Amino acid sequence: MIFAQLQYKGSAVDRHDEIAGLLRDRFPTIRDGVQGESWIWVFFGGDDKVQIDNFTSITTHEVKSSRPGAHVQAVIDVLREKYRVDVREAPELEAHEDE
């Protein structure tokens, strides 16, 4: 589910290191990379994970998770320290997710 979208100037790939660094400073378990697109995973206890990537938007990063919760809000709060983050009123399903 897509919970929010970041707003910034420039390309998502150009912003990758900056966003990953911000999250790495605040969360202990991060995985990230650039393979055509930018992807960052923030892991929490249990099965909770927040993905920040530009796979579906192409031009900017979106904040995604398989379920809502405090883990999603924690990532959004950190991202808001540096970026404008547009939070959706209701999470939007990605094309590969069932309703």
The total domain count for the chain is 1
Per-residue confidence band for 67, with pLDDT thresholds at 50, 70 and 90: very high
Q: What global pTM score does this model have?
A: 0.92
Quick check: 80 pLDDT over 70?
A: yes
CATH number for the domain that contains residue 39:
3.30.310
Mean pLDDT of 27-54: 95
Rounded Cα gap, residues 97 and 33, in angstroms: 23
Residue 99 falls inside a structural domain: no
Mean pLDDT of 85-96: 86
Phi, psi values for residue 70, rounded to 5°? -60, -30
pLDDT value, residue 98: 66
How many residues are there in the chain? 99
Average pLDDT, the chain: 93
Residue 46 falls inside a structural domain: yes
Residue 97 falls inside a structural domain: no
Quick check: 78 pLDDT over 90?
A: yes
Give the structural domain span for 32: 2-92
